Amino acid sequence: MTLPQVGAADVARTVQTMPLSKAINAGLRRAMLDSDRVLLMGEDIGRLGGVFRVTEGLQAEFGDRRVLDTPLAESGIVGTAIGLAMAGFRPVVEIQFDGFVFPAFDQITSQLAKITNRHEGALTMPIVIRIPYGGHIGAVEHHQESPEAYFTHTPGLRVVSPSTPNDGYWMIQDAIASNDPVIFLEPKAKYWMKGEVDAAARALPLHASRLVRRGTDVTLVGHGAMVTTLLQAAALAESEGVSVEVIDLRSLSPVDYGPILDSVRRTGRMVYAQEAPGFTSVGSEVAATVMEKAFYALEAPVLRVSGFDTPFPAAKLEGAYLPDADRILEAVDRVLAY
């Protein structure tokens, strides 16, 4: 294959405003321009551009040998990607909806996550598995899952989730450049959220957490779509005289604890919020680690706000299931009361 020519417009320093979906699309395009070993695979990602149009236009630009429409068989898609990686390619797999990843779960956890270790590092698995996840879109069963804990529990996988368009643009490129398999969780509720994307100035490293808002009284931590809700809660708290610091986890495995611990040592209080059920979750792990490493700085226990430990409900009940600013503020009041 021959690399497409890169024009001056592609390398010029530009800052554009675009939604998260378009930012990820631009990041995929940039990675495909940089290497003809990058392939995209998934259900309806070619001519249709994917259910959420994240891959729109890429098949027309790069052809159907690099942007492949696959059968409706997630296990087969991931298994094929593993074979392609063994042959030197860097496949990017799209799972159409979060709940559809489970037919591929065996391939991901039994094969993809373990092959490099099995070969003592001699065989790498540069595969990205893109998964739209989370609620807030009023969808039916199997279309609003938050399966991140399954993958963070699996050694050999890297797990990340962008919350802004700029992070979406840069993190997808960094994930594709990784020689380890990356589960790339895209908060589907934020696909249409617009923000600035700087295509010339690289954002944070792939596995760095990010201080989003400074405060002095309590630290709020979360990932994905929940970061927007944390910022809403912080603004409401400020109107009541409470100064809230907000941190975007960004990388769920590994976790960059530095900014989190620094923040907690300043504020003395922390609340973790997530859409996923609370039991044995990412929030559970972060809360436990913070209490181990910053115990003497804490003025109150670390609290968690999460979805309930039930299957995701029917669309009309998702507002009661998913944490909102009010539930987060209730937790803030509780940690401040100690």
Express each pLDDT in 116-136 by its tens digit. Answer: 999 999 999 999 999 999 988
**pTM above the 0.75 mark?**
yes
User: How many Å apart are CA 131 and CA 318, to the nearest integer?
Assistant: 20
pLDDT 10s digits, 289-322? 999 999 999 999 999 999 999 999 888 888 899 9
* DSSP letters for 170-226: HHHHHHHH-SS-EEEEEEGGGTT-EEEEESSS--S-TT--EEEE--SSEEEEE-TTH
> What residues have CB less than 8 Å from 260, skipping those under 6 apart?
209, 219, 221, 247, 249, 270, 286, 290
pLDDT tens, position by position, 132-171: 999 887 887 888 899 999 999 999 999 999 999 999 999 9
Summary mean pLDDT of the chain: 94
Calpha distance 228→224 (Å, rounded): 8
- Helix 282-293 × helix 258-267 angle, to 10°: 60
Average of pLDDT values for 259-269?
98
List all residues 6 or more positions away from 300 whose beta carbon is below 8 Å from its beta carbon.
268, 269, 334, 335, 336, 337, 338
Residue partners of 63: CB distance under 8 A and separation at least 6? none
Answer whether 92's CB lies under 8 Å from 125's CB.
no
**72 band by pLDDT with thresholds 50, 70 and 90:** very high
**212 against 13, higher pLDDT:** 212
Give the dihedral of Cα atoms 120, 121, 123, 124; nearest 10 deg: 140
Cβ(10)–Cβ(45) below 8 Å: no
- C-beta of residue 84 within 8 angstroms of C-beta of residue 125: no
Specify whether 143 is catalytic: yes
- CA dist 330 → 215, 242, 286 (Å): 18, 13, 20
Which tokens in the block code for residue 128? 């990205």
Choice among 104-108, 115-119, 139-143, 276-280 with the minimum mean pLDDT: 139-143
Q: Which of 119, 136, 142, 143 is catalytic?
A: 143
| 43-71 confidence digits (pLDDT tens) | 999 999 999 999 999 999 999 999 999 99
C-alpha span between 277 and 133 (Å, rounded): 13
Domains defined along the chain, listed by start? 15-198 (3.40.50.970), 210-336 (3.40.50.920)
**Mean per-residue pLDDT, 100-120:** 96
Give 34-47 pLDDT, tens digit per residue. 999 999 999 999 99
**pLDDT given at position 3:** 37
Place of tokens 């320093």: 13
Phi then psi dihedrals of residue 19, to 5 deg: -75, 165
* DSSP 8-state secondary structure symbol assigned to residue 44: T
Residue 12 binned pLDDT confidence (cut-offs 50, 70, 90): very low
Exposure of 179 in the CB half-sphere (CA atoms within 13 A): 7
Q: Each residue of 247-257: b (16+ CB within 10 Å) or e?
A: bbbbbbbebbb
Q: Which residues pair with 195 in a beta bridge?
A: 18
